[in-house]
Amino acid sequence: MKRFFVYLARTRDGAYYCGYAVDVPARLASHNAGTGAKILRGKRPVSLAYAREFSTRAAALSFEATLKKRTHAYKRMLATRWCRKSVKTAGGP
């Protein structure tokens, strides 16, 4: 079964870029290689700040469109919560 993801990439200047991918690590690698989104080419390196999996492409693209309209503060809050959840899942503090 194919998986679909919406992700937030954080740039070196603290901005967030929202995108859709089926392979998030490969997409981040393309951004960092300068072959991804043109808007990120001068803002490398980028790191993964948030990712969410969807079972359908339509659901992922709908969420991506919604997330792109959100404020920087909302994206930062989402990334912070996701990071905390990831640390707890990995057995961190």
pLDDT at 92: 44
Topology of the domain covering 4-89: GIY-YIG endonuclease (3.40.1440)
| pLDDT value of residue 84 | 74
Task: Return the pLDDT at 83.
Answer: 81
Confidence (pLDDT) at 86: 66
Distance CA 5, CA 20 (A): 6
Predicted confidence pLDDT, tens digits, the chain (93 residues)? 899 999 999 999 999 999 999 999 999 999 999 998 888 888 999 999 999 999 999 999 999 999 999 999 999 999 999 987 765 554 444
DSSP β-bridge partners for residue 16: 10
